[in-house]
């Protein structure tokens, strides 16, 4: 190790963000650097999100975690996507699945040819018939695979539903086994170098003083270091993402252990249903300017599948992000860096991104500003891309049955999102800014699910013989159906392969 190498990392805060950071860093650094994580049992974790994107399996694999062991330990089930109910219009239903719509057709996206067929044939089945995960979800089937399905030419992936507290505990045990030191305590004082402003140590209420070279702030909404010490500032996006409250409650598991999350639009927000092996997670995300907490709680409890297992937990938040997530020798990861509501299960993915970028641009003790600048650029752009994708769900609405939805229809949106919507509406093309984030199939699922139909069509799609294109789609649809029919039921797969003790 060089004289300038980071010798000690101090992570302030546990929960999912803290232990994902600890696990990722200790896996990379091993014993070459000491890692200390400070957390206090007095500070609860937020944990509203118990669902993930299909990126978490890759994160776990990078740590060498056995999937079966992880699923059992966290009471997890599998997630093929999200079923949306009453979004756009009351009675509307669509599915955002973790799969494409089949292979390219003569170098063009298959949905462009589907648009042509839908124009020519009024009885053309919906595009979801060509989504492997949508068909699997409808039939309650599941089989873990990241490979092309034989004969279907369609790839699919999956995420998880799990107990976030159990996942944090699972990663804690993993990280501690590899050498991370856990310290129980409440931070009361932060010491800084008088000339550089770098954080040099933290002091705990019991008198312990913990020095470090690099400090990772996983302290949640309060941003103990990034905001409390460095006043990073916060970009408030509540004008475009008006939901600012949530209530979460577990209930007894229902009969259906669905391989997907359910999101149902409500008069002032939306509710979620997330099935786990031992219970069902439920929540209501809403704007308290359009409903009362009492009414929000009544709506949540009235729509549970089973008996509530606790009192609803109240949460408050402001959608947005820190203006900088890395300042000097402090890096904010998780809620300390920003928060976007859990509509598309992006919170854990944002932690994955930040941990990955910290590893990629890992500093020495000089913590050169150029590294921080690049990290901040990547994090800021990712927040903006995810922000736009979530706003899309609200902005395109035909609902006028409540003041909340009328506000969403009229609210200002970023120019980047406006361009995406208008390009699709006029030409059928999907513009993707973030090639590492939500891809074409995801945008299609939301745009078309909310009722946007392009006025124009891709002229290149008109060059192929119509009957040949029709035959391709019918063959692909039949191949998907056969593949799905050969899969086990999701609940059966859980019982036979990954049931928790």
User: Are 223 and 339 contained in the same domain?
Assistant: yes
**Residue 187 labeled ligand binder:** yes
User: Are 181 and 145 contained in the same domain?
Assistant: no
Residue 214 lies in a domain: yes
User: Are 140 and 183 contained in the same domain?
Assistant: no
Q: Can you give the pLDDT of all 501 residues of the chain as single tens digits?
A: 458 999 999 999 999 999 999 999 999 999 899 999 999 987 666 555 589 999 999 999 999 999 999 999 999 999 999 999 999 999 999 999 999 999 999 899 999 999 999 999 999 999 999 999 999 999 999 998 755 555 556 678 999 999 999 999 999 999 999 999 999 999 999 999 999 999 999 999 999 999 999 999 999 999 999 999 999 999 999 999 999 999 999 999 988 899 999 999 999 999 999 999 999 999 999 999 999 999 999 999 999 999 999 999 999 999 999 999 999 999 999 999 999 999 999 999 999 999 999 999 999 999 999 999 999 999 999 999 999 999 999 999 999 999 999 999 999 999 999 999 999 999 999 999 998 899 999 999 999 999 999 998 899 998 999 999 999 999 999 999 999 999 999 999 999 999 987
Residue 196 lies in a domain: yes
Structure tokens at 346: 């992006």
Structure tokens at 443: 């945008």
The parent domain of residue 350 ranges over 8-77+162-234+319-385
- Cβ contact 172:92 at 8 Å: no
Structure tokens at 462: 């008109």
User: Are 58 and 168 contained in the same domain?
Assistant: yes
Residue 262 lies in a domain: no
**pLDDT confidence of residue 1:** 46
**Residue 452 labeled ligand binder:** no
> How many domains, the chain?
2
Structure tokens at 47: 């944990």
Residue 406 lies in a domain: no
User: Are 182 and 58 contained in the same domain?
Assistant: yes
**Residue 335 labeled ligand binder:** yes
User: Are 207 and 229 contained in the same domain?
Assistant: yes
**Residue 352 labeled ligand binder:** no
User: Are 376 and 477 contained in the same domain?
Assistant: no
- Cβ contact 82:270 at 8 Å: no
User: Are 371 and 466 contained in the same domain?
Assistant: no
**Residue 27 labeled ligand binder:** no
What are the two backbone dihedrals, phi and then psi, of residue 411, each rounded to the nearest 5 degrees?
-70, 150
Q: How far apart are CA 241 and CA 320, in angstroms?
A: 9
Q: How far apart are CA 66 and CA 70, in angstroms?
A: 6
Place of tokens 């050498």: 179
| Listed residue (13, 19, 69, 75) closest to 50, CA to CA | 75
| Listed residue (162, 150, 155) closest to 56, CA to CA | 162
**Residue 147 labeled ligand binder:** no
- The answer to whether 79 is a known catalytic residue is yes
What are the two backbone dihedrals, phi and then psi, of residue 63, each rounded to the nearest 5 degrees?
-90, -5
Q: How far apart are CA 210 and CA 194, in angstroms?
A: 18
CATH number at residue 223: 3.50.50.60
Q: How far apart are CA 94 and CA 107, in angstroms?
A: 27
**Residue 185 labeled ligand binder:** no
Residue 247 lies in a domain: no
Active-site residue, selected from the candidate residues 27, 79, 139, 324: 79
Residues 6+ apart with CB under 8 A from 470: 117, 121
**pLDDT confidence of residue 428:** 94
Structure tokens at 170: 């699972």
**pLDDT confidence of residue 457:** 85
């Amino acid at each position: 190790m060089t004289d300038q190498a980071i010798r000690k990392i101090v992570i302030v805060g546990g929960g999912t963000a803290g232990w994902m950071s600890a696990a990722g860093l200790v896996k990379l650094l091993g014993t070459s650097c000491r890692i200390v994580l400070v957390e206090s049992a007095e500070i609860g974790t937020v944990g509203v999100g118990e669902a993930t994107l299909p990126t978490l399996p890759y994160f776990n694999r990078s740590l060498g975690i056995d999937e079966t062991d992880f699923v059992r330990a966290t009471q997890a089930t599998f997630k093929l996507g999200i079923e949306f109910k009453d979004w756009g219009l009351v009675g509307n239903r669509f599915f955002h699945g973790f799969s494409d719509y089949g292979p390219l057709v003569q170098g063009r996206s298959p949905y462009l040819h589907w648009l042509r067929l839908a124009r020519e044939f009024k009885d053309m089945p919906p595009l979801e018939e060509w989504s492997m995960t949508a068909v699997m979800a409808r039939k309650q089937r599941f089989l873990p695979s990241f490979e092309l399905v034989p004969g279907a030419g369609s790839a699919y992936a999956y995420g998880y539903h799990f107990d976030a507290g159990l996942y944090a505990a699972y990663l804690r045990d993993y990280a501690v086994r590899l050498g991370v030191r856990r310290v129980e305590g409440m931070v009361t004082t932060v010491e800084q170098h008088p000339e550089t402003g770098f954080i040099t140590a933290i002091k705990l209420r019991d008198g312990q003083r913990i020095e470090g070279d690099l400090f990772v702030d996983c302290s949640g909404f309060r941003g103990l270091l990034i905001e409390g010490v460095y006043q990073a500032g916060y970009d408030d996006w509540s004008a475009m993402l008006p939901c600012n409250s949530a209530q979460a409650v577990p209930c007894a598991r229902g009969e259906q252990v669905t391989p997907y999350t359910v999101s149902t639009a409500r008069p002032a927000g939306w509710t979620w249903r997330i099935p786990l092996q031992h219970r069902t997670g439920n929540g209501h995300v809403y704007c308290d300017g359009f409903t009362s907490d009492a009414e929000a709680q009544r709506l949540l409890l009235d729509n549970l599948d089973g008996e509530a297992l606790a009192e609803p937990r109240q949460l408050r938040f402001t959608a947005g992000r820190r203006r900088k997530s890395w300042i000097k020798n402090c890096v904010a990861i998780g809620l300390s860096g920003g928060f976007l509501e859990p509509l598309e299960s992006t919170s854990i993915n944002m932690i994955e991104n930040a941990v990955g970028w910290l590893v990629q641009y890992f500093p020495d003790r000089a913590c050169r500003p150029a590294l921080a600048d690049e990290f901040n650029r990547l994090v800021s752009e990712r927040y903006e891309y995810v922000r736009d994708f979530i706003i899309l769900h609200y902005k395109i609405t035909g609902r006028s049955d409540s003041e909340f939805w009328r506000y969403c229809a009229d609210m200002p949106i970023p120019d980047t999102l406006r361009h995406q919507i208008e390009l699709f509406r006029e030409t059928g093309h999907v513009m993707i800014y973030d090639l590492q984030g939500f891809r074409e199939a995801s945008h299609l699922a939301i745009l078309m699910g909310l009722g946007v139909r392009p006025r124009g069509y891709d002229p290149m799609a008109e060059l192929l013989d119509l009957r040949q294109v029709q035959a391709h789609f019918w063959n692909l649809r039949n191949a998907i159906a056969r593949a799905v029919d050969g899969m086990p039921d999701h609940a059966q797969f859980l019982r036979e392969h990954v049931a928790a003790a």
